């Protein structure tokens, strides 16, 4: 996957993470390898809010428990979102 900085379609995820970050991180400061918990201050409860928020904004079900357990970084989150897109649009 290319850098998420170049993916305008993932901008909503960046905005949602920034909104829920307890570290006051701005959207443009979020780097791919930042850990949602340690670096961005999104605890387990806010993480639930994050996935609900992302699914609401994209109007579709994106996550399952298998995928959720693997999401550690912002990049992981974006991979989870784009994985669904890839499945829907194999071309």
Partner 1 sequence: MILDCHCHIASHRIMPREFFSGWARTVKSNLPFHLDSAQEHRIDDLLFELNEDADCVKLLAEMDSAGIDQAVLLVIDFGLAYKNVALTIEEIHLAHKEVLQRSDRFLAFSNVDPRRGREGLDLFEKAVREWGFCGMKLYPPCGYSPDDRSLFPYYEICRELHLPVLTHTGPTAATLPFRHTRPEHVDDAAFNFPDVNFILGHAAIAHYADAALLAQYRPNIFLDLSGFQTDANRNEFKSIISWHVRRGLARKLMFGTDWPIHRFWGSQRDWVEKFAALEGESLLTGEEISNILGKNLFNILPVEGRKHAEYGT
19 near partner 1 (CB under 8 A): no
59 near partner 1 (CB under 8 A): no
Cβ atoms 58, 12 nearer than 8 A: yes
75 near partner 1 (CB under 8 A): no
Pick the binder of partner 1 from 33, 70, 83, 85 (CB under 8 A).
70
Residues 32 and 91: their CA atoms lie apart, in Å, by 25
Residues 52 and 66: their CA atoms lie apart, in Å, by 16
Pick the binder of partner 1 from 8, 28, 66, 90 (CB under 8 A).
66
């Amino acid at each position: 996957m290319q850098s998420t900085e170049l993916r305008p379609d993932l901008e909503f995820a960046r905005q949602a993470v920034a909104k829920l970050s307890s570290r006051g991180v701005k959207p443009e400061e979020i780097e791919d390898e930042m850990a949602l918990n340690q670096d961005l201050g999104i605890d387990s409860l806010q993480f639930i809010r994050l996935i609900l928020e992302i699914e609401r904004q994209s109007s579709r079900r994106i996550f399952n428990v298998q995928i959720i357990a693997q999401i550690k970084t912002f990049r992981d989150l974006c991979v989870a979102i784009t994985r669904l897109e890839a499945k829907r649009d194999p071309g």
